[in-house]
Structure 1
């Protein structure tokens, strides 16, 4: 992890699960970022209690309200981050906020499909647009050529469930709207990688593994194979090693290339 040295990072959906795990790991780094921006819907609410506790101990952690399905909220968050950075750029944007509604193909509705796409696909699109000026600024202010996460990067938290070639764990759950939204997010990552390469911004889609979270499932009867800690540790190791040749790829938490 020594390879990943960033001045600033923003994580969406940071009040629980993988998002909170990222925040905790960034704060524990030997050289932690000067700014860790953690966003969630309700920073003062009960579900953000752990984040609030962390913020009281770490002055470099700033909690920012953000609803990823609301363009006005995204704009306000970007303005706040820009103000706090005071002229410097944002090194990493981690689009982690996501939603999943467990329903089979015959039970999917327009409402579920739309809500899932807005959060999982349109949200990362709008966040990429809103934070691009700050990512460009970080890339311009970093020495050397080529792309890396230490310079400027958009990390989209995808899922192996979005692979069209290898429809992962279909027998366990169809979750069609979720699968479709993540396949679309993979395409968005590819598009971002092509459009933002000239600005020095690396873009990657990451599958965190099947993780013990509220979304991944964490009951006594069934525990997914990976802890949040192991997943985040693996992903940070992967991020520290990425270069220009990996931009626009779909990787898992161990750095393996996944089929589209």
Structure 2
């Protein structure tokens, strides 16, 4: 299997959980990315302390202030990343930032549904739009006609909980707004795969597993998957993706998930 090799990557929600784990594992690769852009809401806040410490030791980490629910923040982030990358463009965009509230069907509210949709679904839509010019540049700069994460790709972190066909862990938590937002993200990813293929950009939606993070523990059960196992699996899957995979819904082991 080919080793994942990317010159530049942007990870949203990179200050903790899966996002921080991805940044850490990118650094440990035999050939780390030249640029790792770590997007987070409040780079100077307490929750970003571990990311700040990491960036102070690794000059290839650039922390980007980024609130994916705010269009102006997304545009500013795209401008800043573009200034660093110039004509080379961005190889890999990982839309990882997401939020969850434990609402049931009876307790769901307009405000919570709107907030969760804005972050989990609209955020990745706007990120794709804003970073499309940089992804196009990266694709144009890579020889060959195939698609891969080393060339140009959008990876949307979804969830098995967004599967309509198989209502995963319903008995442990209805989390209605979260499920709906991820089902909508799956459709968005499919649309992106069709629209962006002509530009040489791979688009895949991934279920990282039920992971031992703050979000993963929100259902008051210990999730079965460690952060390291999830991220190692994700990077292995990313290294194997090709044109045949664009528009698919996969898990951290590369298995096809039910829509």
In the alignment, what sits opposite 2:87? 87
Give the CA deviation at 1:213.
Answer: 0.4
| CA deviation map 1:109-141 (0-9, x unaligned) | 111111000000000000000000000100010
Q: Quote the residue 2:110 is aligned against.
A: 110
Is the contact made by 1:218 and 1:224 (CA closer than 8 Å) also made in structure 2?
Answer: no
Q: State the SS of the aligned residue for 1:217.
A: helix
- Residue aligning to 2:125: 125
Q: CA deviation at 1:86?
A: 2.3
For 1:120 and 1:218, how far apart are their aligned partners in 2? 17
1:189 aligns with 2:176: no
Q: Secondary structure at the match of 1:127?
A: helix
C-alpha displacement of 1:88: 1.2
Tell me the equivalent position of 1:11: 11
1:28 pairs with 2:28: yes
- Paired with 1:187 and 1:72, the residues of 2 have a C-alpha distance of 24
The Cα offsets for residues 162-208 of structure 1, whole Å up to 9 and x where unpaired, read as 00000000000000000000000000000000000000000000000
Q: Distance in 1 between matches of 2:140 and 2:85?
A: 15
Aligned-residue offset at 1:143: 1.6
What's 2:174 paired with?
A: 174
Counterpart check, 1:214 vs 2:221: no
Give the structure 2 partner of residue 232 of structure 1. Answer: 231
Question: Could you give the per-residue CA deviations for residues 137-162 of structure 1, whole angstroms, max 9, x where no partner exists?
Answer: 00010121110011000000000000
User: Which residue is 1:150 aligned to?
Assistant: 150
The unaligned stretches of length 5 or more in structure 1 are none
Aligned to 2:205, what secondary structure does the other structure show? strand
Deviation at 1:3, TM superposition (A): 2.1
SS in 2 for 1:168: coil
For 1:123 and 1:194, locate their aligned partners in 2 and report how far apart those are by CA, in whole Å.
19
RMSD over aligned Cα, in angstroms?
1.1
CA positional deviation for 1:218: 7.2
**4+ long deviations beyond 6 Å:** none
TM-score relative to the length of structure 1: 0.98
Residues 2, 240 of structure 2: 8 Å contact kept: no
- Aligned to 1:37, the other structure's residue is in SS state strand
Structure 2 segments unaligned to the other structure (5+ residues) = none
Distance 1:227 1:171 in 2: 22
CA shift for structure 1 position 87: 1.9
In the TM superposition, what whole-angstrom CA distance separates every residue of 1:79-102 from its partner, at most 9, and x where no partner exists?
Answer: 000001122110000000000010
SS of equivalent residue, structure 2 residue 38? strand
Describe how 1:243-258 pairs up with structure 2 within 5 A: 243-258=242-257
Measure the CA separation in 1 of the matches of 2:27 and 2:250.
24
Deviation at 1:222, TM superposition (A): 3.2
